[in-house]
Amino acid sequence: MPADQSLPAVPAEVLVVGADLAGAGRADLLIRDGRFADPATAGAGAERIDADGLVALPGLVDLHTHLREPGREDAETVATGTAAAARGGFTAVLAMANTTPVTDTAEAAEHLAGVGLREGHAQVVPVGAVSKELAGEQLAELGLMARSSAAVRVFSDDGHCVADARLMRRALEYVRALDGVVAQHAQDPRLAGQDACCHEGELSGRLGLPGWPAVAESTIVARDVQLAELTRSRLHVCHVSTAETVDVLRWAKARGITVTAEVAPHHLLLTTDEVAGYDPTFKVNPPLRPQEHVTALRDALADGTLDAVATDHAPHARHDKEHAFGEAAFGMLGLETALAVVLETMVVPGRLGWPEVAARTSVTPAHIARLRGQGRPLTVGEPANLTLLDPAARGVVDRDRSASLSRNNPWHGRELPDPVVATFWAGRATFRRG
Amino acid sequence: MDAVDEHGEQSVQEASGLAETGTAASRLVMDADQIARACARMAHEVLEANRGADGLVVLGIPTRGVALAERLAAAMSEVEGVQIPVGSLDITLYRDDLRRHPTRVVGRSRLPAGVDDAVVVLVDDVLFSGRTVRAALDALGDLGRPQAVRLAVLVDRGHRELPVRADHVGKNLPTRADERVSVRLGEVDGVNEVTISPGPGEDSTGQNGTGQHSSRQNSTGDSPAGTDHPEERP
Amino acid sequence: MRHLLSAGDLSLAEVTGILDLAEEMAQVQARPVKKLPALRGRTIVNLFFEDSTRTRSSFELAGKWLSADVINVSAKGSSVSKGESLRDTVLTVAAMGVDALVIRHHASGAPGQAARWVDAHVLNAGDGTHEHPTQALLDAFTLRRHFRRTEPDRDTFAGKTIVLAGDITHSRVARSNVLLLRTLGAEVVLVAPPTLMPAGVGSWPVATSTDLDEVLPEADAVMMLRVQRERMSGGYFPTPREYTVGYGLTRARLGALRPGVAICHPGPMNRGLEISADAADAANSLILDQVAAGVAVRMSVLYQLLGGEDATPTSSRGDA
């Protein structure tokens, strides 16, 4: 583990001086015993961090991460994935269920939560599968997972779409009793064929790559929001990637349907043009789309139609990516660069202020996931989950300087903000810029 | 790098568009009349050596060898009253220096008849190192088995690197190795003349400014594809 | 020329050069000694991830007639299932000291990806549904000879209308031909049912039609593309007979062509589906000429790639 990832001895007190508290203005923060305390009571031995020019956000919460453990520890582990999360300013990650074995039982969920407690550099919250084995046929033991010590509230077959309408209806109905939410990976398998590997459009037609159209996503979302209305239950849409889906979400929210939605950083900046060189680094599900979709997603994140930014951090071993484009694994890394991309695409152009950034990256995700201790105000008494960032810092992304075990980084070589200065989880510094 | 650069030399002149006739830098060694007489004489020599036209197949080596071959064949045909087969034999693919240069453009080979048991008369404009002729002999060998192969050249300028000898020579021209011999024919260049000029690195006083010893090299480099054999488009 | 990955990489001058040289190479086929020494000492590997006896043999002969050392490596079967990445497969082969890799792959883009990893010259022998540049070149060679029968000085296809009909979406031959025919100045018309037209085809420099009968009278050449019966299971068209009635070059449609219009097909043919036996065997069918042209065109391309000096050394390097 890189040196800056080993957990340091916890200083008794940490005084953060003069940070801008999520846009509310500059103030001091005192961290003591895992919570924020009155800065005026800071002792002489407190560690002082000069935060002049820095912004303080509640610790970021990622609704969508793939930690790969258990099953693919060659690509990532709980330890390395959460180390990457801490570097990116995250204090909590929701770990998707498509591991080996799948997280579809209380035992599997508790196992993962336990590993997270022992080895994690951020809070690890297991996501439970909607269907057994992610097969899309029978409901998994949603209730037992919710009642377990892992307290699962978010259920998702991510990687696969819950395509059967009846199963989706049942799942939505069922989780209502658990204060749970069904997070859908919206991709109609009949419109997205087995070989489909990118956005279906002008570029894929020229390149001879089988793709799937935007409507493969939006038609599922259109169906699901109406099921959510019917069942009066909570729906969450994973990784929205199309303008069409944004239109459906606006319609649904206007009707008062309880739907939330997330967008991944790569869909805020990268377009399908990246695929022209057949580089599998840019192969991802949902795929990169043309510019008009990127524009629509930014507009929707600005006005809140998209509630949250979630990374869909998807590490892959080199031998899973170094194939022909059509055969390579889907997915990109994202934890360490997520905030940088949000700054670049939304803050720098003035689309979001710091309060909105805090909402999209921490407060709202925590609320969706029903995480009590996360996404809290930066006030005395609250758990000390804190991300300190320097909005002015920039750098060139180097994929080899990463806490992740994998290197499938689409930002390599790109000049972006490099904002995260320090991350505190439950009062403990999990990342410090060295 | 010096295989068949009699062609290289001509084409460098070609490519640079220099018309050095009569300039201080070059001198004329054969004019149009002298060329015509040499061709006529060689045509008679070939017929004499062959005791007539039987079995003759005249093959010119592109580019200017083809024009010369056609002149010879026409002259011989008129004398003998029969059509003597004439064509071209491109030897680019048989060169021994292909890998030392960018990919060369290949010229046209048009065999008017089979070469088995024929008396093939190879025709070229300048005989220098002899490597072109060696390549032509290799090419002929893959085409069949001639009864005999004769070589007719307009200019023999010496400096053989291989044991090759011309049977019929238009003009023996002693040269320094670094000098350039340029043959221009009406069919290709619009004029008929043979000139000789100082090599690269020499000014008009004949001094070799660069002190190059192995001055076979054209300092401009032996032609990239396209300028070596000015293309006769099919 | 370092690689040949796409027909779109070739300028008109380069195409003309390749076709002219192919005319010279074609003479070798008629000789008793089918050998030219131009590529002596060069090593060419046919790295085929997809079966193709015809194309592979064509490349093999082309290399051998140019005196190169040619070996065939069959890497059929998904590299994913064998657990070896494409990169590892390509680097392993290239590490033997190879001058050129002729790669056929079932996935679009694979030869181009390979070209980034090795120093060897890479020739795309067909990648997924993306391109098949040498096929387009031999089609152009065949068509040029055909047009020159009546117009001996013809250098380009300016003023000619070429119709390509069939499963355009899944046809690498179509994509390469569109690029090459346009470079040669032809007007290109694509004909297919709407389900077999590629996404975004409206932005291609071609005309499109779903009505074969409407465009046939204008054609100077018709290239029928293979339609796989398996496409029915993807719901692209309901039955083979419906396809033939709508889009096949039937005997009746043969009569609608102007006299002397060339008929082409890259093969293998589904006689009776996209092309009738009458059309395939018609007097103006160039199908066999296309097959015969393959070796000469590939010899020409191999010479263009390997016949001169190398700009870079031919050891394999493992560049990311």
B49-59 pLDDT, tens digit each: 999 999 999 99
Q: For residue A323, which residues of chain C lie inside 8 Å, CB to CB?
A: 79-80, 85-87, 107
pLDDT value for B25: 80
Nearest to B105 among C17, C309, C310 (CB): C17
Q: Does residue B20 lie in a domain region?
A: yes
* A and B adjacent (3 or more CB pairs under 8 angstroms): no
What residues contact C242, with CB distance under 8 A and at least 6 apart?
none
Q: Among candidates A187, A213, A208, A160, which has minimal Cα distance to A324?
A: A208
How confident is the model over A13-41, as a mean pLDDT? Answer: 96
Find where tokens 């300092």 sit: B219
Q: Could you tell me whether strands A55-58 and A386-389 are parallel, antiparallel, or unpaired per DSSP bridges?
A: antiparallel
User: How crowded is the C-beta side of C83, counted as CA atoms within 13 Å?
Assistant: 0
The contacts found for C32-37 with CB under 8 angstroms, 24 or more apart, are C32/B144, C33/B141, C33/B142, C33/B143, C34/C65, C35/B142, C35/C65, C35/C67, C36/B93, C36/B94, C36/B142, C36/C65, C36/C66, C36/C67, C36/C299, C37/B93, C37/B94, C37/B138, C37/C66, C37/C67
> What's the predicted TM-score (pTM) here?
0.87
Contact state of B106 with C308 under an 8 Å Cβ cutoff: no
pLDDT value for A101: 97
Q: Does residue B231 lie in a domain region?
A: no
Q: Tens digit of pLDDT for each residue in A362-376?
A: 999 999 999 999 999
Residue B11 scores a pLDDT above 60: no
**Angle, to 10 degrees, between the axis of helix C133-150 and the axis of helix C287-306?**
120
Six-digit token string for C43: 């090593």
Residue B14 scores a pLDDT above 90: no
Six-digit token string for B27: 């001198």
Task: Tell me the nearest-neighbour CA distance from C7 into chain B, angstroms.
Answer: 20
Q: Does B225 touch chain C (CB under 8 A)?
A: yes
pLDDT value for C30: 85
Catalytic residue among A104, A157, A224, A312: A312
B95 pLDDT band, cuts 50/70/90, is very high
Share of chain B above pLDDT 70, in %: 75
Six-digit token string for A162: 């819950």
A312 pLDDT band, cuts 50/70/90, is very high
Helix (H, G, I), strand (E, B) or coil at C37: helix
C-alpha–C-alpha distance, residues C173 and C136, integer Å: 7
Burial zone of A142 (CB within 10 Å; 0-12 exposed, 13-18 middle, 19+ buried): buried
Q: Does residue B233 lie in a domain region?
A: no
What residues contact C66, with CB distance under 8 A and at least 6 apart?
C36, C37, C38, C39, C42, C299, C302, C303
Counting as contact any 3 or more CB pairs under 8 A, the partners of C are: A, B
C-alpha–C-alpha distance, residues A66 and A73, integer Å: 11
Amino acid at A273: D
Asked whether A104 and A133 are in contact (CB, 8 A), the reply is: yes
How confident is the model over A45-51, as a mean pLDDT? Answer: 94
Structural domains of chain C sorted by starting position, each given as residue range(s) with its CATH number in brackets: 7-131+294-314 (3.40.50.1370), 133-291 (3.40.50.1370)
Q: In what order do the strands lie in the sheet with A154-155?
A: A154-155, A181-184, A235-237, A259-263, A308-309
C-alpha–C-alpha distance, residues B192 and A184, integer Å: 84
Task: Give Dmax over CA atoms of chain C in angstroms.
Answer: 57
Asked whether C27 and C299 are in contact (CB, 8 A), the reply is: no
Question: What torsion do the CA atoms of A409, A412, A414, A415 make, to the nearest 10 degrees?
Answer: 100
**Residue A345 gets which letter from DSSP?**
I
C-alpha–C-alpha distance, residues A324 and A418, integer Å: 32
Could you give the residue ranges of the DSSP H alpha helices within B107-200?
A: 131-143, 186-189
Residue B225 scores a pLDDT above 50: no
pLDDT value for A1: 46
Q: Could you tell me whether strands B56-60 and B86-88 are parallel, antiparallel, or unpaired per DSSP bridges?
A: parallel
Mean pLDDT of chain A, nearest integer: 96
C-alpha–C-alpha distance, residues A280 and A407, integer Å: 12
B210 pLDDT band, cuts 50/70/90, is very low
Q: Does C229 touch chain B (CB under 8 A)?
A: no
Q: Does residue B46 lie in a domain region?
A: yes
Q: Does residue B14 lie in a domain region?
A: yes
Amino acid at B117: D
A434 pLDDT band, cuts 50/70/90, is confident
pLDDT value for B4: 42
How confident is the model over B75-103, as a mean pLDDT? Answer: 94
Of how many residues is chain B composed? 234
pLDDT value for A157: 98
Residue of chain A whose alpha carbon sits nearest to that of C196: A205
Of how many residues is chain A composed? 434
Quick check: bond before C268 cis, omega within 30?
A: yes
C-alpha–C-alpha distance, residues B203 and B184, integer Å: 23
How many domains does chain B divide into? 1
Q: Does residue B58 lie in a domain region?
A: yes
Q: Among candidates C217, C157, C213, C215, which has minimal Cα distance to C190?
A: C215
Task: Tell me the nearest-neighbour CA distance from A210 into chain C, angstroms.
Answer: 9
Six-digit token string for A145: 């997972």
Q: Does B90 touch chain C (CB under 8 A)?
A: yes
Asked whether A109 and A150 are in contact (CB, 8 A), the reply is: yes
Give the residues of chain C that fall short of pLDDT 70.
77-81, 231-232, 311-320
Q: Tens digit of pLDDT for each residue in C221-270?
A: 999 999 977 766 778 888 889 999 999 999 999 999 999 999 999 989 99
How confident is the model over A345-364, as a mean pLDDT? Answer: 98
Q: Tens digit of pLDDT for each residue in A241-267?
A: 999 999 999 999 999 999 999 999 999
Six-digit token string for C253: 């449609």
Q: Let me know the angle formed at the C-alpha of C166 by C162 and C170, rounded to the nearest 5 degrees.
A: 115
Q: Does C307 touch chain B (CB under 8 A)?
A: yes
**Residue B61 gets which letter from DSSP?**
P
Q: Tens digit of pLDDT for each residue in A377-430?
A: 999 999 999 999 999 999 999 999 999 999 999 999 999 999 999 999 999 999
B115 pLDDT band, cuts 50/70/90, is very high
pLDDT value for C137: 98
A313 pLDDT band, cuts 50/70/90, is very high
C-alpha–C-alpha distance, residues C164 and C188, integer Å: 7
Number of Cβ within 10 Å of residue C156's Cβ equals 15
Q: In what order do the strands lie in the sheet with B193-197?
A: B27-30, B193-197, B180-184
Contact state of C108 with A209 under an 8 Å Cβ cutoff: yes
Structural domains of chain A sorted by starting position, each given as residue range(s) with its CATH number in brackets: 59-376 (3.20.20.140)
pLDDT value for B5: 44
B55's torsion region: left (phi>0), alpha (psi -120 to 50) or beta?
Answer: left
Contact state of C24 with B106 under an 8 Å Cβ cutoff: yes
Burial per residue of A31-54, b for 16 or more beta-carbon CB atoms within 10 angstroms, e otherwise: bbeebbbebeebeeebeebebeeb
Contact state of A327 with C80 under an 8 Å Cβ cutoff: yes
Q: Does C89 touch chain A (CB under 8 A)?
A: no
pLDDT value for C235: 82
**Residue B106 gets which letter from DSSP?**
P
Q: Among candidates C17, C7, C264, C248, which has minimal Cα distance to C137?
A: C7
Amino acid at C117: W
Contact state of C309 with B99 under an 8 Å Cβ cutoff: yes
**Residue A360 gets which letter from DSSP?**
I
Residue B24 scores a pLDDT above 70: no
Find where tokens 């009776």 sit: C272
B224 pLDDT band, cuts 50/70/90, is very low
Q: Among candidates B153, B151, B188, which has minimal Cα distance to B173?
A: B153
Q: Does B113 touch chain C (CB under 8 A)?
A: no
Q: For residue C313, which residues of chain B lie inside 8 Å, CB to CB?
A: none
Amino acid at A78: V
Helix (H, G, I), strand (E, B) or coil at B126: strand
Q: Does A207 touch chain C (CB under 8 A)?
A: yes
ipTM, 2 decimals? 0.89
Residue C176 phi, psi (nearest 5): -65, -40
Q: What domain range is B17 assigned to? A: 3-225
pLDDT value for B199: 77
Q: What's B145's domain CATH number?
A: 3.40.50.2020
| Chain A stretch 262-291, residues whose beta carbon is closer than 8 A to a beta carbon of chain C | 277-279
Chains B, C: CB contacts within 8 A come to 52
Residue A87 scores a pLDDT above 70: yes
Residue B2 scores a pLDDT above 70: no
pLDDT value for C318: 40
Counting as contact any 3 or more CB pairs under 8 A, the partners of A are: C
End-to-end Cα distance, chain C: 23
Amino acid at A423: T
Asked whether C227 and C192 are in contact (CB, 8 A), the reply is: no
Distances (CA, A) of C151 to B29, C145, C219, C230: 43, 9, 17, 41
C-alpha–C-alpha distance, residues A137 and A131, integer Å: 6
Q: Could you tell me whether strands A26-32 and A35-37 are parallel, antiparallel, or unpaired per DSSP bridges?
A: antiparallel
What residues contact C229, with CB distance under 8 A and at least 6 apart?
C240, C270, C273
Nearest to A205 among C85, C128, C199 (CB): C199
Radius of gyration of chain B (CA): 17
Q: Tens digit of pLDDT for each residue in A128-150?
A: 999 999 999 999 999 999 999 99
Asked whether A93 and A82 are in contact (CB, 8 A), the reply is: yes
Q: Judge whether A312 counts as a catalytic residue.
A: yes
pLDDT value for C31: 86
Residue B233 scores a pLDDT above 60: no
